[in-house]
Structure 1
Amino acid sequence: MSRPAPARLLLTVLVTLAALLTGAPATPAHAAAPESPAVTYTNPIAAQRADPHIVRHTDGYYYFTATVPAYDRIVLRRATTLQGLSTAQEVTIWTRHSSGVMGAHIWAPEIHFIEGRWYVYFAAGATDDVWAIRMYVLEGTGANPLTAAWTEKGQIRTTWESFSLDATTFVVGGVRYLAWAQRNPAEDNNTSLFIARLANPWTISGTPAEISQPTLSWETVGYKVNEGPALIQRGGKVFLTYSASATDANYCLGMLTASATADLTSPASWTKSTSPVFRSSEATSQYGPGHNSFTVSEDGTSDILVYHDRGYREISGDPLNDPNRRTRVQKVYWKADGTPDFGIPVADGVTPQRFSSANHPDRFVRHWEFRARIEAGVSPLADSQFRVVTGLAGTGTVSLESANYPGHYLRHRNFEVWLERNDGTAAFAADAAFHRRTGLADTTGVSFESYNYPGRYVRHHDHFLYVQTPGTATDRADATFHTQ
């Protein structure tokens, strides 16, 4: 065990002595602001837009494309913010052929900028066989893809002439790959996942490798499907999410994991999650979340999950004929082990936040058996997510609504903080309303002052939350939180 240098040891003794004499804590009263502060959006981003793909380009714009219900064209929008995509002008950049290939079922476009040119990957059937789905590529020249000149580069050729779709491309370790879904004629399923290196944006190099097929119970409801791959990288690992089962309320996300230094074209490099990582939520009335992509927040510090779902479970007829899949976004959180935590598809409206303790930054406000406390490694994630909404007591206040118990709010009772359903009374509204203040111990943080007991703040003590009057530096740190 290493020992501190004499000067550092002396400093430690002096700081500790000063703390004993003044009553101040021997350690800093607060931690630095989080690397990934809170971001909020209002869902849905776009009605009747399925299979969404959003990319943030170096020009400061987000570019958004998705499947339209008519399955007949490829559209693009752009905006400088994710929320701005909701109202951005939409431009049709390509329309299906009137006959032959690329004449039907125009599905799942993705837009990528590769070596100075824009590329759109999409799937299409033929007018004489709408289920002869294959993958195709458009190339665009020009700085703005909404006004670019687009040319067809043709079909992406794979091992077989079989049902294939949902091409996505990414770079790992300096190598560009293509991943997609395809029917393997030797298997009794609809589609499996494949990966290959690319010689150029529309040409596969080498023999594609099959890295996943639908074998688990949640991958085979209605149809046996692995499709819609999307990749995110962090901490030397790559995570490939994909969609499984029929495109109704059973649709969900699975995930494959590999080392960023592994041979990604080797099936042995990938490990599959044993259960879905993102699925329907009765609590928030979100059904069939899937066919996702990833982007980043405007400040570049948060990873954002982009996906579609429906706001109702029951569908009349074939789900493919139901037009109401909507594009939605929410923040991705990261567990201590370096894996992503997607939580649940959050309710429509403003997306929730998390609140970490300023003096215990690994601990988050959460509800546990409806008692509010701070805790590290919260599972499920949604127990630590709250929507900051207009206060139940009115203008100038805020209330904190549970992400996984909509209609339930943090409120104080006997000066203890609990999560309870709004009973509609004035007393509840007052107990569940707070004035949002600058952090008492850190101006980058936030503190919540009780509406009906001015001077009392939400603070943690022995891990539980109370509404108390802070009198010391420690109290003020206990009453300060960072939004994430």
Structure 2
Amino acid sequence: MRRNAVRLILAGLVALAAVLTGVAAPAQAAAPDSPAVTYTNPIAEKRADPHIYKHTDGYYYFTATVPEYDRIVLRRATTIQGLSTAQEVTIWTKHSSGVMGAHIWAPEIHFIDGKWYVYFAAGSTSDVWAIRMYVLEGSGANPLAAAWTEKGQIRTTWESFSLDSTTFVVNGVRYLAWAQRNPAENNNTSLFIAKLANPWTISGTPAEISQPTLSWETVGFKVNEGPAVIQHGGKVFMTYSASATDANYCLGMLTASATADLTDPASWAKGSQPVFRTNDATSQYGPGHNSFTVSEDGRSDILVYHDRSYRDITGDPLNDPNRRTRVQKLYWKADGTPDFGIPVADGVTPKRLSSYNYPDRFIRHWDYRARIEANVSPLADSQFRVVPGLAGTGTVSLEATGFPGYYLRHKNSEVWLEKNDGTSGFASDATFYQQAGLADAAGISYESYNYAGRYIRHYNYLLYVQTPSTATDKGDATFYAQ
């Protein structure tokens, strides 16, 4: 009783001191709105330009460019990871002659007004580079078993190289965005947008909203292509791919207000730098031609894209079959803009760990010292792969996303990020038991492998391995995976 009374008095004094000094007391967190997701990359080998669509029937539908460029394939599964092993069905094959007879590229599947639609690009047997956009319509609940009808070519302002059509709805209006060569410009493709009268017919005059003019958009080829749209916080974000389809391939982004006239080029602002690009540390090269989907619980946005696991390509990149489909969580900054981070290493996707006592602060490394901090930039400094423990079964180790082979480890009770030196001492210091959160069982606490009863906790925002005794200690040793 006396001990409890003392704790109450101390808690009151701490709260009073916080008020008098203007320092906010820790705000105990609720479980995050967007919890961590875990996938293992790659999702599919030799599948480029991936598009994953989550339907209301509980299935994910996946289509992508096959390296033979001769057909359209579909898979479905109830989970994103399940797409890796799902049966693949060919729903349409290129024509033996004439239009739609070559270079079958970048299919997307959508469900519109009770029917399935696949958008794709194709060349002709008489001119494989006469790439145009086409649409298939399918009826029935399951598109893998649907009867597909060719709705023909999507007609635009010019009969010129055009591809990568995607459709989306903003404020009840359906739009089409695509890439096309404007004959008046000295580049390969620019981005266009128009309203749709129906799923295969443009309404009105298309608007050109982006040209490849920046240095990172014009390496090898002057390219803006592969538009994809995600909406958040009253904004419309359109990612697109730029430069040649080798290691220089990358993602840029346009931004518009959801209440603006999206067919007015002035409504769109282009970012000055890529939002997603090659990363040597994680061995991911030429990430691009993305789409967006959502996690199984609908609470996380998922970035879908392709890349290669090596930089150097022999010959034309279009003849290299090894672009793979990959996924990872998309995060959102405090200002409401997306944070793509870096293309993560192959294998299990990383997580972020937020503090129970300070919900806006995440575990991160800074000059190799581990701490908690808000608004972490770059994002990868606050992402860790939870991998099997280096020292023992039933344990985990926390590997830095941007520094593969570097792990959180304790030394002299402090937590640092260091490269695995292969010794048993390092392995023990970098290994933890993942326990239910000490302050909230919905969270996580990490108990030291070689010092039982000691946990990773933050104190004055730095991380230590200590024995928690008070409620505050236990809160400091509790984290949520995001």
- Please give the TM-score of this superposition, normalised by the length of structure 1: 0.96
| 1:471 CA drift (Å) | 1.1
**CA distance in structure 1 between the aligned counterparts of 2:466 and 2:236, rounded to whole angstroms:** 45
- State the partner residue of 1:119: 117
Find the aligned partners of 1:271 and 1:236 in 2 and give their Cα distance: 15
Counterpart Cα distance in 2 of 1:53 and 1:392: 36
Match of 2:242 among 235, 241, 244: 244
Q: Which residue of 74, 96, 99 corresponds with 2:97?
A: 99
Q: State the one-letter code of the partner of 2:9.
A: L
User: Taking structure 1 as reference, are residues 475 and 230 closer, same or farther at Cα in structure 2, changes over 3 Å only?
Assistant: same
Query: Displacement of 1:29 after TM fit?
Result: 6.8
C-alpha distance in 1 between matches for 2:139 and 2:333: 40
Which residue type is aligned with residue 355 of structure 1? L
Q: Distance in 1 between matches of 2:225 and 2:67?
A: 19
**How far did 1:19 drift?**
3.6
Q: Distance in 2 between matches of 1:25 and 1:336?
A: 29
> CA 1:29–1:164 in structure 2 vs 1: closer, same or farther (change >3 Å)?
closer
Measure the CA separation in 2 of the matches of 1:399 and 1:283: 19
Deviation by residue 1:93-125 (Cα, 9 ceiling, x = unmatched): 000000000000000000000000000000000
Does structure 1 residue 73 correspond to structure 2 residue 71?
A: yes
1:388 alignment partner in structure 2: 386
Which structure 2 residues correspond to residues 319-338 of structure 1 after superposition, within 5 A?
Answer: 319-338=317-336
1:201 is aligned to 2:199:
yes
**Following superposition of structure 1 onto structure 2, how do residues 272-291 of structure 1 map, counting pairs within 5 Å?**
272-291=270-289
Q: Tell me which residue corresponds to 1:423.
A: 421
* 1:402 corresponds to: 400
Distance 1:112 1:296 in 2: 15
Q: CA deviation at 1:416?
A: 0.3
Equivalent in the alignment of 2:126: 128
Change (3 A) 1:25 1:442: farther
3-state SS of the aligned residue for 1:132? Answer: coil
Correspondence for 2:18? none
Q: Distance in 2 between matches of 1:135 and 1:463?
A: 54
CA distance in 1, matches of 2:370, 2:426: 16
Amino acid at match of 1:159: T
Q: Is the 8 A contact 2:252 2:275 kept in 1?
A: yes
Q: Tell me which of 58, 61, 77 is aligned to 1:60.
A: 58
Q: Does 1:349 align with 2:347?
A: yes
2:222 matches 1:233: no
CA distance in 2, matches of 1:24, 1:138: 69
Matches within 5 A, 1:15-34: 19-21=8-10, 26=15, 30-34=28-32
SS of 1:146's equivalent? helix
1:479 aligned residue = 477
The structural deviation recorded for 1:427 is: 0.3
Alpha-carbon offset, residue 396 of structure 1: 1.1
- One-letter amino acid of the structure 2 residue matched with residue 434 of structure 1: F
Name the CA distance, whole Å, in 2 between partners of 1:125 and 1:29.
Answer: 59
In 1, the alpha carbon distance for the partners of 2:247 and 2:11 equals 60
Measured after TM superposition, the shift of residue 18 of structure 1 is 7.8
Determine the C-alpha separation between the residues in 2 that align with 1:335 and 1:283.
24
Q: What amino acid does structure 1 have at the position aligned with 2:208?
A: E
Does residue 1:462 correspond to 2:457, yes or no?
A: no
Q: What is the aligned partner in structure 2 of residue 45 from structure 1?
A: 43
Aligned 8 A contact 2:27 2:358 in 1: no
Please report how far the alpha carbon of residue 136 of structure 1 lies from its aligned counterpart in structure 2 after TM superposition. 0.1
In structure 2, C-alpha distance between the alignment counterparts of 1:29 and 1:107, rounded to whole Å: 51
TM-score by length of 2: 0.96
Residues 155-179 of structure 1 show CA distances to partners (whole Å, capped at 9, x for unaligned) of: 0000000000000000001000000
- Provide the rounded CA distance (Å) in 2 between the counterparts of 1:19 and 1:273: 52
Residue-by-residue CA offset, 1:311-370 (whole Å, 9 max, x unaligned): 000000000000000000000000000000000000000000000001101000000010
Counterpart of 1:20, as a letter, is: I
Shift of 1:404: 0.4
Structure-1 residue corresponding to 2:306: 308
Can you list the C-alpha shifts for 1:59-106, whole angstroms capped at 9, x where unaligned?
A: 000000000000000000000000000000000000000000000000
- Letter of the structure 2 residue corresponding to residue 346 of structure 1: V
Q: Does 1:170 align with 2:159?
A: no
- Quote the offset at 1:30 in angstroms: 2.6
Q: Which residue in 2 is equivalent to 1:141?
A: 139
1:413 alignment counterpart: 411
- For structure 1, the residue ranges without an aligned partner over 5 or more in a row are 1-15
Aligned twin of 1:9: none
| Paired amino acid for 1:124 | A
Picking from 377, 380, 383, the partner of 1:379 is 377
Mapped partners of 1:47, 1:356: distance in 2: 33
Give me the whole-angstrom Cα distance separating, in 2, the residues matched to 1:342 and 1:83: 20
The 2-side partners of 1:18 and 1:411 are apart by 33
For the residue of structure 2 that corresponds to 1:131, the secondary structure is coil
Matched residue, 1:5: none
Contact 1:436 1:447 survives alignment (8 Å): yes
Note the alpha carbon deviations across 1:423-460, whole angstroms, 9 max, x for none.
00000000000000100011110000000000100000
> Could you tell me how far apart the structure 2 residues matched to 1:323 and 1:396 are?
39
How far apart in 2 are the matches of 1:97 and 1:43? 34
Shift of residue 17 of structure 1? Answer: 11
Pairs aligned (count): 469
Give the conservation status (yes or no) of the 8 Å contact 2:356–2:475. yes
Contact 1:29–1:477 (Cα < 8 Å) also in 2: no
Q: Which of 355, 358, 368 is the matching residue for 2:356?
A: 358
Q: Show CA shifts across 1:372-409 (max 9, x none).
A: 00000000000000000000012011000000000000
2: CA distance, partners of 1:300 / 1:106: 32
Are residues 411 and 18 of structure 1, via their aligned partners in 2, closer, same or farther at CA, if it must alter by over 3 Å? closer
Residue 37 of structure 1 aligns to which amino acid in structure 2? P
Q: Which residue of 1 aligns with 2:293?
A: 295
Aligned-pair distance for 1:21? 5.0
Query: 1:235/1:478 Cα in 2 relative to 1: closer, same or farther (>3 Å)?
Result: same
**Match for 1:187: what amino acid?**
E
Distance in 2 of aligned mates of 1:30 and 1:423: 37
Q: CA deviation at 1:180?
A: 0.0
SS of 1:130's partner is coil
Moved >2 Å (runs of 4+): 16-30
Provide the rounded CA distance (Å) in 2 between the counterparts of 1:324 and 1:440.
45
Cα offset, 1:20, TM superposition: 2.4
The secondary structure found in structure 2 opposite 1:332 is: strand
Are 1:435 and 1:449, in contact at CA under 8 Å, matched by a contact in 2? Answer: yes
- 8 Å CA contact retained: 2:47, 2:306: yes
Local SS of the residue matching 1:428 = helix
